[in-house]
Chain A
Amino acid sequence: MMRHRAPRLAAGMAVCALLVGVTSCASASNSSGAKTGTYLQLANDKPTWTNEFNAIGKVLASGGGTGWQSNAYPSTTAFQAVVRTAATTSKAPALFTWWSGAQLAPLVAQHALANLTPEVKKWEAEDGLSPDVMQAYEVDGQYYGAPLYTSDWIMYYNKKDFAEHHLTVPTTWTQLMSDASVLKSHGIAPFTYYDQDWAGFIWFEQLLVEENPAAYQELMSGKISYTSAPVVAAMEEWRTLANDGYFSTPENIDTATPTDFLNGSQAMMLIGSWEESVLTHDGGVPGKTFGAFVVPPINPKVGWQAIFETGPVVVAAHNANESDAIKSLDTFMEPSVQAKWDKLQDFVSAESKVPVTDPTALSVKSEVGQESVTLHNRFWEATPPQIAVTVSTDLSQFILNPNLPLTPFLESLQKVASSYWSSTGS
């Protein structure tokens, strides 16, 4: 009967439509590493950089080279999960962004990344690529990534606050402390402070590096313990700053806005230079509302130190287009292309041959002058994530209660570290 066939027909069509939809979805997803024309897929977790990636990708493809096409994942977690499962297979994306330092090691151990040491040596020799920065991409003496961006951790300061209280950019730690006490006496919180999520390591790494940079490096690689003297000294310095009331009330670094810094109720902000785009977006003018300086060393004998963070583009070793991908990286690292990339993103290149145009970076350079600044990879990448994540969250305890008993606290941090180092046998 007609009445019975109609529902069945409709049901059958519904099933067909669903199957068509599912299969078309599957085929529409980007096949990683497939060459469409002369473009390779650059998998990344930075969807806000898509336009810039595609623009520089076109520059790379001009003149018959191999270009980049951004394949962005909306969440870091999804991106990492996809890359980790695909990394050792032929389905790995030809190029992808990743993290430096200890986050490279697991991929390298699985032979998932192309060894870029010959190219890196060439870039260091010909284009002035900074060996300090490249330290972040070294695993067992070999290099596995090309720097996509490099951000220094500097101290932004509110120019109005400094001018009103007749303060100048400090070149010594003592001057920084006296500046802070002047600001505090006028009811201004000298330093911004964050405590949630990953923010626990910010002051920890800075104070340790300004006191004893060699100890910082050794702590990151597990050669010294969290209970050793240099770490205790840094923690005690941190406690003094907190008890002197130099920090603002801690906020969540992921949701906080720099309102208080820009309106002057907080005077100084220790943060990565990537924050500058947030400051300008919220109404700050670089050079007028705010400036920046390198944090002076606590121990003047060690010279200028700074924390930096860098993120690479890496090449998958198992992808069929590996050699083309490496060639595209080679083009990317040419000074002329680096200058274009910096212009697109307001970045500063890691190559000395690329002229610096960012005004904050220029003012920071002029502060340091002829002296060199030793760069250290930031805590989050310098030490394995199994330690970095837990220690950072535990340091929030110290931020909220700087007078907690120090020895058992540091012993608990060391427990986390030694359980990792002993399990990997290094």
Chain B
Amino acid sequence: MRHDQPSQKRRAKDLGRSYGIVFTKVARRVHRSPKVMKEPAAGSVRAAGRSPDNSHERAVREGRRRRRRRHLSAYYYVVPAVILVVGMFWYSIIVTIEISFTNSNGLSSPHFAGFANYSAILHDSALSTNVANTLIWAVAMVLLPAGIGLIAAIMVHGKRGGDLFRSVFYVPYAIGFVTTGVIWSFLFGNNGLSELFGALGLHSLASVQWLNEVPLNTYSMIIASTWQTMGVDMLLFLVGLGTIDRAVIEAASLDGASGWRMFRHMTFPLLTPMTRVIVAISIVNALQAFNIIWVMTQGGPYGSSSTFAVWTYQESFELFKMGYGAAISVVLTLFVLIVSFGYLRRSLKEATA
């Protein structure tokens, strides 16, 4: 059993350049507790020099073969998922890229159009609004849910009644985005918060049109989306806080660290792996913001709260310009890939530095 651990670590590395790297690094950190004894790497026996007879090397090769057979059976479990991912995911991507170079409208046979769709994106008057809104969503949805989630996690961690607070903060996420959108549409409508503010005598607040004024409508939807997703981030941070070694924290408090200094110099750096995961996921999700926007304003009024994902949907399924919509989605995907790749690359470099 103990011989498996080094090979597990090696196999994790072999997964190569994928987002799996972040998760395996988290796994390794989580498992690095004083109770697990460090095992010598399997190859180090060879490095130490040949043994007098090949018995040890034969034993090592036997062990490797046995492990490979066990690993092979593991691949059987992976194959169905791979088929699904390749079939549904990669096939759709390739077809979408194909469509983006045509003038397809979903009905008549498409004709090749070269880069016409892509140049049309650059000349579309809606481009600047969509870029601005997408960036606002990206920045806000990375900072706000993670920030509030972190504060909530620290306040809840280890306290009595922590379970209750965990449920309270998690419920918004459990109810799903459509319900969230409907609830907040009501609150931001004429009969929601406006009536409450009116009853409290705050008439200037009561007359605010939360979903009609630009850019207030985007910020209102960000409030709704933060309310929903902060629960997940809080739970993840609680997991991260739970893996911090108590001995380290105690040592720091013995040295006189407490409160803000403890957080800044001990807790937050130790949470870095979890923070990286959360930020990476948040970036990818935020750049594709669609669900809440579609339920609350459909990108309106007059396209003022539209993001790239909403734009793609409207062009493809409301205006039936499928080639153009596909081109917009390809541009969005490229942007998401570049940003997340850049972020992960930088953060992994820092992790291994």
Contact = CB atoms under 8 A, between A and B. Distances in A.
Given A7-B70, A81-B106, A195-B301, A252 B76 contact: no
Main secondary structure of the interface of A (DSSP, over half): helix
Given A85-B106, A196-B297, A400-B301, A255 B80 contact: no
Contacts of A25: none
Main secondary structure of the interface of B (DSSP, over half): loop
B191 interface: yes
Interface string B51-89: 000000000000000000110111011011000000000
Contacts of B302: 393-394, 396-397
Interface in A1-51: 4, 7-8, 11-12, 14-15, 18-19
Contacts of B296: 252, 255
Contact of B298 (A110, A254, A260): A254
B314 A389 contact: yes
A331 to B, nearest CB: 30
B77 A255 contact: no
Interface string B94-109: 0000000000011110
Interface string B282-321: 0000000000000011101111000000000010011111
A97 B276 CA distance: 49
A8 B76 contact: yes
Nearest to B77: A11
Contacts of B76: 8, 11-12, 14-15
B107 A7 contact: no
Interface centre among A8, A19, A248 (most CB of B within 10 A): A8
A197 interface: yes
B149 to A, nearest CB: 28
B189 A256 contact: yes
Contacts of A77: 317
A396 B298 CA distance: 12
A393 B303 contact: yes
A255 B79 contact: no
Interface in A248-302: 248-252, 254-256, 259-260
Interface of B: 69-70, 72-74, 76-77, 79-80, 105-108, 182, 185-186, 189-191, 209, 211-212, 296-298, 300-303, 314, 317-321
Q: Which 6 A-B pairs have the closest CB atoms?
A: A11-B76, A396-B301, A8-B73, A84-B106, A255-B185, A7-B73
18 contacts: A11-B76, A11-B77, A12-B76, A14-B76, A14-B77, A15-B76, A81-B106, A88-B107, A109-B108, A195-B301, A196-B300, A249-B209, A255-B186, A385-B319, A386-B321, A389-B319, A394-B302, A396-B301
Interface of A: 4, 7-8, 11-12, 14-15, 18-19, 77, 80-81, 84-85, 87-88, 106-107, 109-110, 112, 195-197, 248-252, 254-256, 259-260, 385-386, 389-390, 393-394, 396-397, 399-400
